[in-house]
Structure 1
Amino acid sequence: MSTENNLQQVTSEKTEFKREIGVFGGVSIIGGIMVGSGIFYLGSYVIERTGMNLGLSLICWIIGGLISLMGGLCYAELGSAMPRAGGRLLYLNEAYHPSVGFLAGFTDWLLGGPGSVAAIAIALPTALRFFIDINDTGIKVFAIVLIIGLTIYNCFGVKLASILQNVSMIAKLIPIVIIMCGALFLGKITPDLSLASASEAAAASGGNIITMIAFAVVASLWAYEGWTNLNTVAEEVKNPRKNLPLALIIGIGGITILYTLFNFSIFKVLTHEEITNMIGEGNFYLGTAVAKKLFGSAGAIIVTVGMVLAMFGSLNGLIMAQPRMYYAMAEEGHFFKSYKKLHPKYKVPTTAIIIQGVISIILVMSRNLDELTTLVVFTGMIFNFLTVLAVPICRKKFPNIERPYKVWIYPVSVIITALIFLGLVVNTFFDDPTSAMLGCIVPVIGVFFYIYFDKKLKKEEKR
């Protein structure tokens, strides 16, 4: 259990960081990270995993959004009560034991953060293949240059990084809205959204409708991935007890609506046969096909600009947010001391930002996009499950701390959210055991690191 002094520290708003992120900035971080390349191609994976049933695919997008929103509400309660850098690492420390928080942070340090950065950095130049003849080596070189450039930029302070995030958020929504509104108003197809074929497709694949939905929801969750990152910069949010929950609710809720409408708009332009043929040929960029059909060659330019801006914003947001978790690990004594040093002028954890960039580059050179996305989503679900359960645990352990925001419909909402995350983790073990096992290896490695740093910390405390 935390000592009284430590509890006062994690619930205090006093900080060495600069609080320069407002509500719009918070929404931009969430939206900037969440709305990436996934909006343009992940719809195909969701459709494929629902047996090509369009209606069920939309339901899976809504379920993915509701899961993310319910998880976000849990994070909102924890973040408003403990407005410090580190996000879920901090909450897991307080609810369970510092070792649990460390394993979450270590997994993010070695895989989650750099893996997400690497995946998006690879996806961005891949989207440019329509205009540029670029091979796999060229894509990786492009990705590395992007990571280096944004890593350096983020070393010059959260204010500059937040400005870039705000601008990219607005800029990328423009082409997305053009495509979506064009499809909704100009599309002449009335899509068949009935669920009649879903059970047959599930039976044909040797499963049932529930497992099929769960498998499809996991694909949608990659598009929603990123809503947890605002809490990692809570120490740089203005009036975090009010603005943090507000930004989470607006950001996740708005993006759920955006994703569902965007995928429905695709069905207004492309026939079921066209969608099936494209996915069967390995062409997953349905949004590009819609834009071409509506606007001709100009449509291809619009969608490519949208994808590039979306991924650029996601990349910048991740590079900005994730290192604050590594900072928190070092601050509480279980990581390299250099990670807790803030730049004397810009007040950012420079070492953490730079090392994340280095690991991201290594992952770019060693993994492909599909492998990275599956690993990141799986490990994220494990720790999101534990973080959701931290809400009732912290209420019981610390009944007297100020909670400006409390989860809606408690405890039913928390129980349902936790069971969903647990179910998705178990389902992934059955559907993709290789990725699941690889995802579990990283926390196991983290145990040995924790033992090392814990022994080192105890020796220093004895001196």
Structure 2
Amino acid sequence: MSGSPPPAGGFVRRIGLFQATAINMSQMCGIGPFVTIPLMVGAFGGPQAIMGFVAGAILALADGLIWAELGAAMPGSGGSYVYLRQAFQYRSGKLMPFLFVWTAMLFIPLIMSTGVVGFVQYLGYLAPHMGKTTGDLVGLGVILVVVLLLWRGIEHIARITTVMWLVMIASVLMVIIAAATGFSGHLAFTYPHNAFAVTHGHFWTGFAAGLTIGIYDYLGYNTTAYMGAEIKQPGRVLPRSIIYSILGIMAIYLMLQIGTLGVIDWHRMLNPDDIASTSIASAVLEKTWGKGAADTVTVLILITAFASVFTGLLGGSRVPFDAARERVFFRPFGKLHPRHRFPVWGLAAMGVITAIGFLIGRHTDLQTLIQLLTTVMIIVQALAQVLAVVLLRQRQPGLRRPYKMWLYPVPAVVALIGWLVIYGYADKNSPGRHPIEWSLAWVAIGCVAFVLWSRYEKVWPFGPKEVSEEYLEGVDPDAEPVAV
């Protein structure tokens, strides 16, 4: 489907470069930086926390170049599912794409659930007397509204996303400009003793925790790769949408982080009873421009958080579609809405899991939820895609590659090191939570599920391997006429 013109009843290529970049940026700059700046300061123990966002940007760009090459070469719905299916089919059949969908059905909704947790957290600034139960009900209501809005055609969603992107830009610019008017270099650039003592073990533990938070804030640069079958001229648009969104968000985050640290004393961010620890952007506006401006920016941040959940579920719901169509996941996930052409079961299932993850996050803590979802994502998706780029260059040298990774293989090596650092320090940064063990357990359960599933479907290892190299033979989607 994805390497040739969409069949009757399939996806339609209607999303251009601006809309694709807007989708990625809306997902990336959701509630993340507005709730994680205090977490980042806590991880590093001071305003040197800016290193976390810089390190996260480097990892995001290195990994983004992997997505750019794979997405441009294989622009199908499902993103990693397509890439892992093509790269690993020669030795392990459908095991890797199955495991990816298995884990994605967990970590993608968990990412969205953190956005809803942040939404309710900022809503608490406007409604300080909101109780725990009320907050839970509000969050569940937000998820329901998102699912209902996505229950429509992609052309309508593209317009909605553009509007939400503009609101996101307005909210971050308002915080950045307000911070600039009250900026103090003494607050932003006065570091505690031994802040950069790289020879101390605790520095690297804090760095790994900060890198985890940093890459979490950048997650979403690959959203349009999940929607490759709906992107116009994907060989050109997909890589640019990924790279442009990472560079744009990197600039925004650095100005936001430095500006915030120049207005609010970082010690306040570590006090759980201080508004700066839960609604840092509102605290910045309140101190610089007053309560009215703080209320306004809080509303804009709520819209931004909503937009990130919206675009995340939009892209994530496409993940199981191709897998189900090709007998690698439950077959109902391959069903499209008869009129609006979106994956019904994928959207519904991820909406339910997002709601469950939201309740878990509300009754534990946000940092633990971030650590768990990141660890699950790394073990199958991130590390496997680094290897997939190498394998595909060896196995399919004739594959049409309208974009090739710059300085190959350096970005792949940088990404590999970054992901291994996050994974290796996961247990130390979540004492008592055991994210490494949970991620391994989830993958082990997925392997058992694959054995049962492959036996039912009579595929490898209970049948012949099905090797398909359709992207070597398919029509160039960049040369196809696109829908308008």
Q: Does the TM-score normalized on the shorter chain lie above 0.5?
A: yes
1:360: Cα distance to partner? 2.1
How far apart, in 2, do the equivalents of 1:154 and 1:243 lie?
23
Matched pairs, number: 446
Q: Which runs of 5+ in 1 are unaligned?
A: 1-8
Cα distance 1:277–1:126, how it changes in 2: closer, same or farther (>3 A)? closer
How far apart, in 1, do the equivalents of 2:83 and 2:273 lie?
41
Corresponding residue for 1:170?
166
Corresponding residue for 1:407?
405
Q: Any conservation in 2 of the 1:43–1:220 contact (CA below 8 Å)?
A: no
Cα distance 1:367–1:128, how it changes in 2: closer, same or farther (>3 A)? closer
Q: Find out whether 1:280 has 2:279 as its counterpart.
A: no
Corresponding residue for 2:468?
none
How far apart, in 2, do the equivalents of 1:405 and 1:451 lie?
36
How far apart, in 1, do the equivalents of 2:259 and 2:360 lie?
36
1:145 to 141, 147, 159: 141
Q: Which amino acid aligns with 1:112?
A: F
Q: Any idea what the Cα deviations from partners look like across 1:125-171, whole Å, max 9, x if unmatched?
A: 22111222321211111111111221122121222222221111101
Which secondary structure state, in structure 1, belongs to the residue aligned with residue 384 of structure 2? helix
Corresponding residue for 2:474?
none
Q: Any idea what the Cα deviations from partners look like across 1:192-237, whole Å, max 9, x if unmatched?
A: 536673457778xx72433322221111222112222221111111
1:372 to 369, 374, 382: 369
Corresponding residue for 2:288?
294
Structure with greater helix share of residues: 1
**1:384-463 alignment, distance < 5 Å:** 384-432=382-430, 434-458=434-458
1:32 to 20, 26, 29: 26
Q: Any conservation in 2 of the 1:102–1:450 contact (CA below 8 Å)?
A: yes
Corresponding residue for 1:5?
none
Q: Which amino acid aligns with 1:338?
A: P
Corresponding residue for 1:308?
302
**1:50-449 alignment, distance < 5 Å:** 50-52=44-46, 54=47, 56-96=48-88, 97=92, 98-109=94-105, 111-132=106-127, 133-191=129-187, 193=189, 197-199=193-195, 207-270=201-264, 274-281=265-272, 283=274, 284=277, 285-368=279-362, 369-370=365-366, 371-382=368-379, 383-432=381-430, 434-449=434-449
Q: Any conservation in 2 of the 1:114–1:363 contact (CA below 8 Å)?
A: yes
1:48 to 42, 46, 65: 42
Q: Any conservation in 1 of the 2:98–2:323 contact (CA below 8 Å)?
A: yes
How far apart, in 1, do the equivalents of 2:86 and 2:263 lie?
50
Which secondary structure state, in structure 2, belongs to the residue aligned with residue 49 of structure 1? helix
1:419: Cα distance to partner? 1.7
How far apart, in 2, do the equivalents of 1:297 and 1:412 lie?
48
- Superposed CA RMSD: 2.2
How far apart, in 1, do the equivalents of 2:107 and 2:71 lie?
20
How far apart, in 1, do the equivalents of 2:268 and 2:356 lie?
36
Cα distance 1:406–1:293, how it changes in 2: closer, same or farther (>3 A)? same
Cα distance 1:238–1:91, how it changes in 2: closer, same or farther (>3 A)? same
Write out the 4+ residue segments of structure 1 that deviate beyond 6 Å after TM superposition: 200-203, 459-462
How far apart, in 2, do the equivalents of 1:153 and 1:315 lie?
11
Q: Which amino acid aligns with 2:241?
A: A
Q: Which amino acid aligns with 1:130?
A: Y
Which secondary structure state, in structure 2, belongs to the residue aligned with residue 404 of structure 1? coil
Q: Any conservation in 2 of the 1:12–1:83 contact (CA below 8 Å)?
A: no
Q: Which amino acid aligns with 2:422?
A: L
Q: Any conservation in 2 of the 1:155–1:348 contact (CA below 8 Å)?
A: yes
